[in-house]
Structure 1
């Protein structure tokens, strides 16, 4: 299990209505940013790349898991980012009108001068809480009431006399 940072516009994290990042938007960022290039897949005919490699990392040999940014499911993700990668992610997020969020809901940003500012400790919602909110928002079939978990009930087994 790793620690990821994500560039996202997910309304649950941002608190504002928006659509997910599209592949076209991500490709535009890669094409217009001279520090990024498309990362080639090991099997490009079978699995074309949606990922980018950051060519201008100041110390690429010290990047724990390479200098890659991976697009997936409407977010751009970086595994085990170092401080330089975090800064680059915030700069990319601003181009996409998005935010950078950690696995535990903490938000990352830069100060007014563009220097690294420690993470904003605003754990919005943990993944479990996000999932519960998403489930609660799904309306029940043929009902105007919001979804609620089923109530537990006691059932007796007449053959053994054991209550379940």
Structure 2
């Protein structure tokens, strides 16, 4: 099982309430970033509810990923429930994800609540989890 990172505006990426990244914002970001490319076929293959001719740019690939092998190994990021998601990103991709998060006025967070910095590393003391693994209340974020 892989490990996902989330670009989110919410307190925690898993929250059902909170500010979301809209499809229009994501589409505009992709068009402005020449290092990203929309892939509607990928969206249709992953989610059968999305038709391949749909204009929804939910999935994008990072064209400058150092380990990229076109058609075989790609660095994907997609919109899901108001967050952007990337599966198992390496260090280079985490740095790119941080830049995307910064451009969207959001933050980069791991699935266990840790917050990532501009180097693509988890920030010490910035986890949203308590030592016992439960989510910390917002007022105990230290």
TM-score bin (small chain): 0.7 to 0.9
Distance 1:117 1:27, change over 3 A: closer
Gaps of 5+ in 1: 111-115, 134-164
Alpha-carbon displacement from aligned partner over 1:31-63 (angstroms, at most 9, x marks no partner): 0000001013245047954110111112214xx
Larger radius of gyration: 1
Residue 61 of structure 2 corresponds to residue 53 of structure 1? yes
Q: Which moved more, 1:79-88 or 1:38-47?
A: 38-47
The number of residue pairs the alignment matches comes to 120
Q: Distance in 1 between matches of 2:25 and 2:116?
A: 21
Q: Which has the higher contact order (CA 8 A, sep 6+)?
A: 2
Gaps of 5+ in 2: 46-50, 138-142
TM-score, structure 1 length as denominator?
0.63
Q: Which segments of structure 1 move beyond 2 Å, counting only runs of 4 or more? A: 45-49
Residue 139 of structure 2 corresponds to residue 123 of structure 1? no
Residue 98 of structure 2 corresponds to residue 95 of structure 1? no
TM-score, structure 2 length as denominator?
0.72
Q: Distance in 2 between matches of 1:26 and 1:12?
A: 19
Q: Which moved more, 1:70-79 or 1:43-52?
A: 43-52
Distance 1:44 1:6, change over 3 A: same
